[in-house]
Amino acid sequence: MKTAIIIITDPKSNNDESNGRAFNALALAQESLRNGDQVEVSFIGAGTRWPAELTKVSHPFNALYNSVREAVVGASCGCAAAFGATEGVQACGIKEVKDNAVAGTPGLASVRRYLAEGWQTLVF
* Neighbour order of strands in the sheet with 38-43: 96-97, 72-76, 38-43, 2-7, 120-123
Partner residues linked to 120 by β-bridges: 3
Domain definitions of the chain by residue range: 2-123
pLDDT recorded at residue 78: 97
What CATH code would you report for 2-123? 3.40.1260.10
pLDDT tens digits for 82-109? Answer: 999 999 999 999 999 999 999 999 999 9
The pTM assigned to this predicted structure is: 0.95
CA 60 vs CA 63, 65, 86, 90: distances in Å? 8, 10, 23, 22
